[in-house]
A and B are shown apart, each in its own frame.
Chain A
Amino acid sequence: MANRKRNTKPKGRINRPEVSDSPKPSSSPDTPDLSPLQWTPYARAIATVLILVYLFVVLIGPLANPIASKYFSGPIARQLAPLHRILFLGHGYRFFGPDPGPTHRLVFRGVKKDGSKFEGFFPDRRNQNPRLLYHRWFMLSETLFVEHANQANSNFLKNRQVEYEQQAARLASENRTNQLRQLKLDRQLELRYYQRASERTDFLANSVARVLLDSHQATSIELFSQERSIPFPEEVADGLKLNSEQLLLPPIKIGELDTHGYRAANLADPNTLRGSK
């Protein structure tokens, strides 16, 4: 009742009430806070609209990332992307979801200027301290793994091209022009996706290789992504250490850098380099 009475006060620019020095009860809907309202109804109306729009922007982020609805959150998230980028919002917040998975480290092997060979990996808890710095290296190795895995190998791309051509020929023969147009658009998007994934991996891997090459005063360096699987509890109970070599899968080559520049590994056959015969 008292609240409604307050709201019917004559409208001024801003009502500045006397405020006691002691803290007001904290924001909780269950403990009605009966302090007077400071803002005019007009100011509150504008703030309400801004708050609602902002909360929608916040909510669309995790609704569209990592999985988006093609008909709702996806298109809206694309429109709101500038706001998400400006304010660094739009994250998925799926911490350790859907399942805690295996981790990945980046292994590098190279040859120094004096001809000696060297090998290393990151993240490396012995040499990367404090822990937050170690975690940055860890996230970088995970990003390299994810970006490398996002690429499509040449065999996959060839198969997809064959599938696309067959589908396009069928739609053309059936005179289904709308579906054919959509198919072409989807195909363009798909090719662009894989091309971008490949470019991103190459840029990132090239930079990482160059920094490692310089820091080790090397002439050539190879990068590999190596997965560490999660042990079964029974294995650990039987004495297996978490840092055991047994848990490491064979490293997968990402690429190499030498005096000729950076060359990515062939995804279909990691023992060869992309573009090599």
Chain B
Amino acid sequence: MKTPSESTVAQPTSGATFFHSWTNGWNQFWFQLEAPNALGAMRILVGLLVLYTHFTWGLQFSTFLGVDGLLPLEYRALLFESPFAWSHFDWFQNNQLLMTIHILGLIIVSMFTLGLWTNWTAVLTTLLVISYANRATGTLFGLDQISSFLCMYLAIGNCGGAYSIDQWIAKRRGAGQGRSCTRNRIAIRLIQIHMCVVYFFAATGKLQGTTWFNGEAVWGALASYEYQSVDMSWISNHMWLVAILTLGTLAWELAYPALIWLKLTRPIMLLFAVPIHLGIGICMGMLSFGLVMLAGNLAFVDSRWINKLFQLSDESKVHLKDGS
């Protein structure tokens, strides 16, 4: 118990002190220098996923996105009623030209993934992802929503500052490793906050349902034939497990926006993210979605860990070369 005099001493001395502590906190949060390692690792993973997405579009390009394809331009126009839902598909009405742009896009995304001219290819990849997403309305899902904002934030940061060809070239010229900078910090913070927004609304959306409370929601997802990619029907004999998975997922999503910020609980939240997203990905045929969510979670992984991981892989290569 504090005495009244002690309480008086513990009070903030002035409004100015309070303001300074806030601005210092804000500056620390947003404007400290940040290494490019996490962004570099995310660039590789997101780049591979965007490359896969674009490659897949290419398999039935004219069927889906061609001038006379499944998705008419009029449909989008009526849905959005906005000239701002831009897409390069609106500007070119020729399938061959669109296919040429598609191939150019694949090259750009490959360069982005490898980290070549990353400042430019990151911006171009973001524009490509948004352009395709705005065009392919009606066939989209979470993958497109998450990958578009991740690309945008990677373009804000210097995602080519680590694990990239740009960096390799810079090293050969004696420029050393990618510099820590403020825009890396801003990019990481935007990814972190956007991931929290995603989990918050994913969780609160589930709170409106009944099956997330009675413990049957995961059954509803696993028993859906159209989603199913691994036969999980054996779980019908173990509904207690379904209930644990359902309530566990709900609790994890609800807690994520708060507990991911605490040093003590962050590893736990990240640890659970892996089986949850990989589980959804493998069992429900949405591995690309699961991986893009995990890519977003990399923003919360310490750069030093990521660096160690990449150094380990380098060391293992050396060991292999040595025959050890």
Contact = CB atoms under 8 A, between A and B. Distances in A.
B104 to A, nearest CB: 20
B272 interface: no
Nearest to A242: B225
Taking residues whose C-beta sits less than 8 angstroms from the other chain, chain A's interface range is 35 or more
Interface stretch (B4-12, B105-113, B116-124, B227-235): B227-235
B82 A81 contact: yes
Contacts of B133: 88
A23 B307 contact: yes
A70 interface: no
B303 A94 contact: no
A36 B185 CA distance: 13
Contacts of A103: 224-227
Contacts of A203: 72, 74-75, 78
Q: Which secondary structure dominates where chain B touches chain A?
A: helix
Interface in B17-51: 20, 23-35, 37-38
B95 interface: no
Given A94-B202, A200-B78, A211 B70 contact: yes
A162 interface: no
Interface string B252-263: 000000000111
Nearest to B27: A37
A98 B209 contact: yes
A128 B59 CA distance: 10
Interface in B57-80: 59-60, 63-64, 68-72, 74-75, 78-80
Nearest to A32: B28
B145 A91 contact: yes
B30 A23 contact: no
A158 interface: no
A36 B27 CA distance: 10
Interface stretch (A165-173, A181-189, A227-235, A253-261): A227-235
A35 B33 contact: yes
A68 interface: no
Given A33-B32, A88-B130, A204-B75, A97 B303 contact: no
Which of A21, A22, A92, A135 has the most CB atoms of chain B within a 10 A radius of its CB? Answer: A135
Contact of A26 (B24, B194, B217, B302): B302
A132 B50 CA distance: 12
Contact of A99 (B34, B64, B190, B220): B220
A107 to B, nearest CB: 13
Closest 9 CB pairs of A and B: A97-B205, A94-B205, A98-B209, A23-B35, A100-B220, A99-B209, A98-B208, A85-B84, A103-B226
Given A207-B69, A233-B236, A242-B225, 8 more contacts: A51-B186, A59-B197, A89-B149, A91-B145, A96-B221, A103-B227, A143-B138, A200-B78
Interface of A: 3-4, 7, 17, 19, 21-33, 35-39, 44, 47-48, 51, 54-55, 58-59, 62, 81-83, 85-89, 91-103, 105, 123, 130-140, 143, 196, 199-200, 203-204, 206-208, 210-211, 215, 228, 230-231, 233-234, 236-237, 241-243, 247
